[in-house]
Amino acid sequence: MSRRHMIDLDQISAEEIEEILVTTDSMKEVLSREIKQVPALRGRTVVNMFFEESTRTRISFELAARALSANIVNFTARGSSVEKGESLIDTVRTLQALGADMVVIRHSQSGAPYLVAQHFHGPVINAGDGRHAHPSQALLDLFTIRERLGQLAGLKVVIVGDILHSRVARSDIWGLTRMGAHVTLCAPPTLLGPSHYWLATWPGISISHRLDAALEGADVVMALRIQKERMQGGLLPSLREYSRHYGLTPERLARLGEHTLIMHPGPMNEGVEISPEAATAPNSVIEAQVTNGVAVRMALLYRLGG
């Protein structure tokens, strides 16, 4: 209850995650009403600071803030502050002087929210920073899995794709293992990072380079977006090979149990990491993830700013 910021799930106890998920449930009820708005944050000003393009996450936070009756302002800038010749600290101080009560930040540099938190008087919510963390995404993943499967403890969750560059994977690792799930990270070694043998020593985590083996007995499979730049960086020989060996193809979909949830944090590269058949399969919860995202963000805004 006394938490000031939400920057990463690394230092959050299972109890607190549980509380957030319970609050999310209440927020979901609010979103199911005809009038999807409660006055809890009336008069508060939330600033969406987006230094990296992400229409989805920005809109999700915007809807969440509005459902709580907060004023929300979008501040969008591309590139790092240094490239623009404007310092992040200066931007934050300016927004504070303009009356911002809470900041939601998306930034291409890992750790940027910590810098903001040092110079802002109110709560800071991380909406994704570099490769580091994306706690609201991880929480909505936890909520969605639990909503469908009833629990998190003891589940086997396979995350397949670009682990090295993925803040979603990092936050999911913390959240899922904290709640007692087992996480299998599956990717070609280049996308696990040259140092992936460290990851294998983290409790509750195993590493695999073969998707078909990793999917044995999986309760959840989450595909991560593959960015085409990775090929130019030499990390992948071709998207074709990736898709055949690491993609959720119709053939793999057919072999999956019907109870295995299919997830994707979006935006999807259909035909690369996930086939259209898998994305729209009955056991796909990709749309539910998006819906639940608003409720989770309401819970975070409320708990930090209420």
Partner 1 sequence: MNYLIRNGSIIDPARRVATVGDVLVVDGKVERLIDMAEMGVDLGPLPEGTEVIHAGGCVVAPGFTDLHAELGEPGYEQRETIATGTRAAVQGGFTMVCAMPNTNPVLDCAAVAHQVAAIAQREAQGHVALIGAITQGREGKILTEMIELAEAGCIAFSDAGRTILDAGVMRNALAYAAALNLPVMSHCEDSRLGLNWAMHEGAVSMRLGLPGLPAAAEEIIIARDIALAEDTRAHLHICQVSTAAGVALIRAAKERGVHVTAQVSPYHLTLSDTWVLGTLAPPPLPLSAATPTHRGKGKNRRNTAPELGLPSWLNPNLLPPYDSSTRVRPPLRSEQDVEALIAGLNDGTIDAIASGHAPRTRVEKECEYGVAAPGISSLETALGLVLTLVHRGEMDLVNTVARLTEGPAQVMGRSPATLRPGSRADIVIFDPDRMWTVERSQLASLSKSTPLQGQQLKGQVMLTMVSGQVAFRRGEFGMHGRGGPQSSKITGIFGNVE
Partner 2 sequence: MNNRKQILTPDEMRRALVRIAHEIDERNGGLQNVILVGIPRRGVPLAERIAATIADFEGVLLPVGQLDITLYRDDLRRRGMAEVGKTSIQHDLTAKVVVLVDDVLYTGRTVRAALDAIADLGRPDCIQLAVLIDRGHRELPIRADFVGKNVPTSRSEHVMVHLREIDGEDEVVIERTKAEQ
Name the residues that contact partner 2, by CB under 8 A.
1, 19, 22-23, 25-27, 29-30, 33-35, 37-40, 43, 68, 302-306
Cα separation, 63 vs 68, in Å, equals: 9
Burial of 38 from C-beta contacts in 10 A (0-12 / 13-18 / 19+): middle
What are the beta bridge partners of residue 74? 48
Q: In angstroms, give the least distance from the CB of 4 to partner 2.
A: 12
Q: What are phi and psi for residue 152, nearest 5 degrees?
A: -120, -35
Q: In angstroms, give the least distance from the CB of 154 to partner 2.
A: 26
Which among partner 1, partner 2, none contacts residue 68 (Cβ within 5 to 8 A by kind)?
partner 2
Which among partner 2, partner 1, none contacts residue 27 (Cβ within 5 to 8 A by kind)?
partner 2
Which among partner 1, partner 2, none contacts residue 227 (Cβ within 5 to 8 A by kind)?
none
Which among partner 2, partner 1, none contacts residue 82 (Cβ within 5 to 8 A by kind)?
partner 1
Which among partner 2, partner 1, none contacts residue 302 (Cβ within 5 to 8 A by kind)?
partner 2
Nearer to partner 1, 80 or 283 (CB): 80
Six-digit token string for 115: 């810098």
DSSP 3-state assignment of 136? Answer: helix
Q: Does 188 bind partner 1 (CB under 8 A)?
A: no
Q: Are 125 and 300 in contact (CB under 8 A)?
A: yes
Q: Hey, how many other C-beta atoms are within 10 angstroms of the C-beta on 266?
A: 17
Q: Does 127 bind partner 1 (CB under 8 A)?
A: no
**Sequence letter at residue 3:** R
Q: Report in angstroms the alpha-carbon separations of 240 from 25, 226, 244, 266, 272.
A: 41, 12, 6, 20, 8
Q: Does 198 bind partner 1 (CB under 8 A)?
A: yes
Nearer to partner 2, 140 or 163 (CB): 140
Q: Are 55 and 27 in contact (CB under 8 A)?
A: no
Q: Are 30 and 38 in contact (CB under 8 A)?
A: yes
Q: Which residues bind partner 1 (CB under 8 A)?
A: 10-11, 80-83, 87-89, 107, 109-112, 114-115, 118, 129-133, 167, 170, 193-195, 197-199, 201-203, 233
